[in-house]
């Protein structure tokens, strides 16, 4: 697996863009578990996704960008679907 090779290099940050797009439910749960485990081991994971359940389930902090401008940064406690959508529509 490609991710394993990257991790062997001693990375401190990994960026994933829409990591679960187009895959089945079983594979999604494996990817979620991997991301959660890596973050728990101290790796910084930057995830870009348009899937609200992924954001609310995995993110410690959420940055929202609207029309190329950062409109909000919120903690897990502050992050609700309503707060995220309000920041996303400007």
Q: 62-79, pLDDT tens digit by residue?
A: 999 999 999 999 999 999
pLDDT number for residue 7? 67
Q: Are strands 13-17 and 61-66 parallel, antiparallel or unpaired?
A: unpaired
1 pLDDT band, cuts 50/70/90, is low
What does pTM read for this prediction?
0.76
Q: How far apart are CA 56 and CA 53, in angstroms?
A: 5
pLDDT digits (tens, 9 = 90+) for 10-48: 788 889 899 888 888 888 888 888 888 888 888 899 999
């Amino acid at each position: 697996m490609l991710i394993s090779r990257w991790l062997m290099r001693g990375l401190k940050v990994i960026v994933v863009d829409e990591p679960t797009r187009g895959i089945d439910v079983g594979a999604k749960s494996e990817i979620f578990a991997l991301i959660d485990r890596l973050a728990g081991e101290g790796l910084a994971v930057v995830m870009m996704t348009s899937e609200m359940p992924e954001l609310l389930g995995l993110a410690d902090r959420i940055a929202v960008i609207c029309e190329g401008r950062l409109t909000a940064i919120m903690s897990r406690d502050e992050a609700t679907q309503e707060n995220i959508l309000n920041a996303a529509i400007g």
